[in-house]
Amino acid sequence: MKQSKLLIQTLRETPRDADVVSQQLMMRAGMIQKVAAGIYSYLPLAFRSIRKFEEIVREELAKDGCQELLMPAVLPAELWQESGRWKFYGDELLRFCDRKAKAEVAERRARGEKPDEREFYNFCLGPTHEEVITDIVRKNVRSYKQLPMNLFQIQNKFRDERRPRFGLMRGREFTMKDGYSFHVDDACADREYWAMFNAYKRIFSRLGVKFRPVEADSGAIGGSFTHEFHVLAGSGEDAILSCDACDYTSNIEKTEAPALPAGDHGKAFELKRDHFRTPGVVGQVEQAAGMIDADHPQGMPITQTSKFFLYRVTFADGATKLVGAVLRGDHEVNPVKVKNFVGAAELELMPLEEAEAFTGAKSGFMGPVGLKDVTFLVDRSLEGAVNLTCGANRTDYHHFGLDPVRDLPGCTYADLRMAAEGDSCTRCGKGTYQAFRGIEVGQVFKLGLKYSKSMGCTFLDEQGKENPMVMGCYGIGITRTVAAAVEQNYDADGIIWPWPIAPYQIHIVCLDPANPEVAGVAAQVEKDLEQAGFEVLHDDREGMSPGAKFKDADLLGFPLRLTVGAKGLKDGIVELRDRRTKEVVKLKPEAAVAEVSVARDRIMQELETAGGR
């Protein structure tokens, strides 16, 4: 492909409205163009990367017998009402009236009524397709003999994000692979879950990026049956902890924290009320330092202090209750663990004013002792510890001598804290956690009976008995993954594409395109490489300095650059440069295919060793 004919306009300046690296670089490289907030056109170079990734996804899913289909983007309200999501899905679901519903609204308006169009919305743009696929399967599958079945599509989805941002990372319209599986029982659904888990590992390995499958929080459903797949990148929104000795890797929201016994495990003395006074001191460390008495001239060790959080939780049936969480002073609370431990659907930290009224103390001096109608949870690092300090529910004061078992009737010890880098692994007991940041690009999820029960998706078993199918769902953000690959692979000069999804693999930069001899060699090398199966972009643009061309090539970031210029050709050589290592090899033009093949093999080898596990 001749670059002079390619739809591409590179930019020297970073666009003002681009707020992450992938968006900045892809806009500067002329790969994507904003059409509206969170809505982009994928220009030819980006389209090539996207398609390549799609084909990797298709090939790997085909190995597991998944069948591809395509469902519509515009979906009728009826199906969503059946599953119940029409009501519960928030404003991200773009609802609207079709022509018929609009006519009905207009007619009422003409009759002098004041109709509210919202009440007539009868379609939406599908953000996911559980309802449609469940409808398809319930109409087409009757017998256990047809199961299991795994169906997927690759489609542009729309989610009306409140704050679309980060380019392709959190757009409103985006390309997604969504797959759904149907099974006769849990055991079969679990097998498929792990088959998809492995397929996703193959997919992201082939992509050539560093990634981790991460145990994730599955909310109130419980169990370990959801994994997120994260591309590792410093800019990632998610924190991940991964054991350095075993496979355990999880989203920090979910990572099990080891109990860290510390402080006083001796004999409990009585609770000394309002023992310490630290007026105006905020911050756990500062307060501990200020808790001075005869026995503690230097203040209290922080491991003997406690902190307290007061939550209001709501259950699926609408019931609410108050939960108080007690943790060691130097530990961070993990609200997701609190929520899951009590089995709540939602959890909210009690608003400050309300908490002050409830406890009678300002922030920093609230504590569990004496509070009524509160369920107390104590982090397991405090199990057996006594003689702790705690907020006195009196501003400026702390009690001393808290014994949770004695002072917090009915309290339960549980894993409540946020695990941290350096904690020992709770799975293998040998390694310690390392911290990463990740971009979530895929998820496998065991859905269970949620949709098959509400929508009546059943099959006849061997005994002719009707049962609901057990379902799983499996998503990959296609465009998000391509952007995440850029977030992980760039330097100050531009993108460094992983070979498998590079828009082109080789960038021939012809420095003297007006010189027929140089142009001839460049064209011949292009032809040779293309005939050998390589994908080549040939920068044949006239009237540009070598510096400007090299800058563009670095920005576009194809794995290999092959420079053809009059100067080098005097000595009969062209130069092959590795975008990542910047290493340069000089070679004869006739050797291009051989040298590029060697370089390709080396790069693929490096990707393999650098990839996920």
Give the binding site for a copy of itself (CB under 8 A).
4-9, 30, 33, 35-36, 39-44, 46-47, 50, 65, 67-76, 79, 91-92, 94, 96-99, 102, 105, 109, 114, 116-118, 123, 125, 132, 135-137, 139-142, 145-146, 149, 151, 155-156, 158, 160, 162, 172-173, 175, 541-542
Q: Closest distance between a copy of itself and the C-beta of residue 39, in Å? A: 5
Order of all β-strands in the sheet with 95-96: 74-76, 123-125, 95-96
**Three-state SS letters, 272-314:** EEEEEECCCCCCHHHHHHHCCECCECCCCCHHHCEEEEEEEEE
Q: Which is nearer to a copy of itself, 355 or 556 (CB)?
A: 556
Yes or no: say if 484 and 174 are a contact pair by the CB < 8 Å rule: no
Assess contact for 254 and 215: CB atoms under 8 A.
yes
Instruction: Quote the least distance from Cβ 13 to a copy of itself, whole Å.
Output: 14
As measured in angstroms, the least distance from the Cβ of 245 to a copy of itself is 41
Residue 119 Cβ, how far from a copy of itself at the closest point, in Å? 11
Nearer to a copy of itself, 145 or 191 (CB): 145
Q: Which is nearer to a copy of itself, 75 or 325 (CB)?
A: 75
Q: In this complex, which beta carbon is closest to a copy of itself, that of residue 181 or of residue 563?
A: 181
Q: Which residue in 330, 325, 329, 365 sits closest to 347, CA to CA?
A: 325
Q: Which residue number, 462 or 571, has a Cβ lying nearer to a copy of itself?
A: 462
SS3 label, residue 183:
strand
* 96 versus 358: smaller Cβ distance to a copy of itself: 96
**CA 347 to CA 336: how far, in whole Å?**
8
Could you tell me which residues are beta bridge partners of residue 468?
458
Beta carbon of residue 549, minimum distance to a copy of itself (angstroms, whole number) = 15
- Our CB check for a copy of itself shows the closer of 37 and 532 to be 37
Beta strands 374-379 and 238-243, pairing class: unpaired
CA dihedral sign of residues 147, 148, 154, 159: positive
Q: In whole angstroms, how close is the CB of 70 to a copy of itself at the nearest point? A: 5
Pair 32, 42: CB distance under 8 Å: yes
**For residues 58 and 277, which CB has a smaller minimum distance to a copy of itself in the complex?**
58
Instruction: List alpha helices for 323-461, DSSP H.
Output: 335-342, 352-359, 404-407, 450-455
- Written as six digits, the tokens of 437 are 């940041």
CB of 520 to a copy of itself, least distance (A): 20
Q: Are 293 and 275 in contact (CB under 8 A)?
A: yes
Q: Which tokens sit at 393? A: 């529910």
Answer yes or no: are the C-beta atoms of 169 and 23 closer than 8 Å. yes
Task: Supply 159's token pair.
Answer: 């989610």
For residue 238, give Cα distances in angstroms to 340, 404, 446: 19, 33, 21
Q: Please give the full DSSP string across 12-50, using - where no structure is assigned.
A: SSPPTT--SHHHHHHHHTTSEEEEETTEEEE-HHHHHHH
CB of 507 to a copy of itself, least distance (A): 17
**Residue whose CB is less far from a copy of itself, 163 or 372:** 163
Shortest CB 25 distance to a copy of itself, Å:
17
170, two tokens: 């959190």
Minimum distance of a copy of itself from residue 41's CB (angstroms): 5
All residues at 6 or more sequence positions from 611 whose CB lies less than 8 Å from its CB, including other chains: 204, 205, 208, 209, 210, 211
Nearer to a copy of itself by Cβ, of 154 and 576: the residue is 154
Q: Tell me the CA end-to-end span of the chain in Å, nearest whole number.
A: 36
In the complex, least distance from residue 53 CB atom to a copy of itself, rounded to whole angstroms: 13
- By beta-carbon proximity to a copy of itself, the closer residue of 12 and 114 is 114
Pair of tokens at residue 234: 């410093």
- Cα 463 to Cα 55: distance, rounded to the nearest angstrom: 41
Nearest approach, Cβ of 596 to a copy of itself (angstroms)? Answer: 22
CA angle at 501 for the pair 497 and 506, rounded to the nearest 5°: 65
Of 103 and 245, nearer to a copy of itself (C-beta) is: 103
Q: How far apart are CA 24 and CA 16, in angstroms?
A: 9
When the beta carbons of 2 and 450 are compared against a copy of itself, the nearer one is: 2
Nearer to a copy of itself, 93 or 260 (CB): 93
Amino acid letter, 602: R
Alpha-carbon distance values, 380 to 44, 108, 384, 385, 415 (Å):
55, 63, 9, 10, 6
Q: CB 133 → a copy of itself: shortest distance, Å?
A: 9
Residues 6 or more apart whose CB falls under 8 angstroms from that of 176 comprise 154, 155, 156, 157, 475, 476, 477, 478, 479
Residue 65 Cβ vs a copy of itself, minimum distance, rounded to whole Å: 7
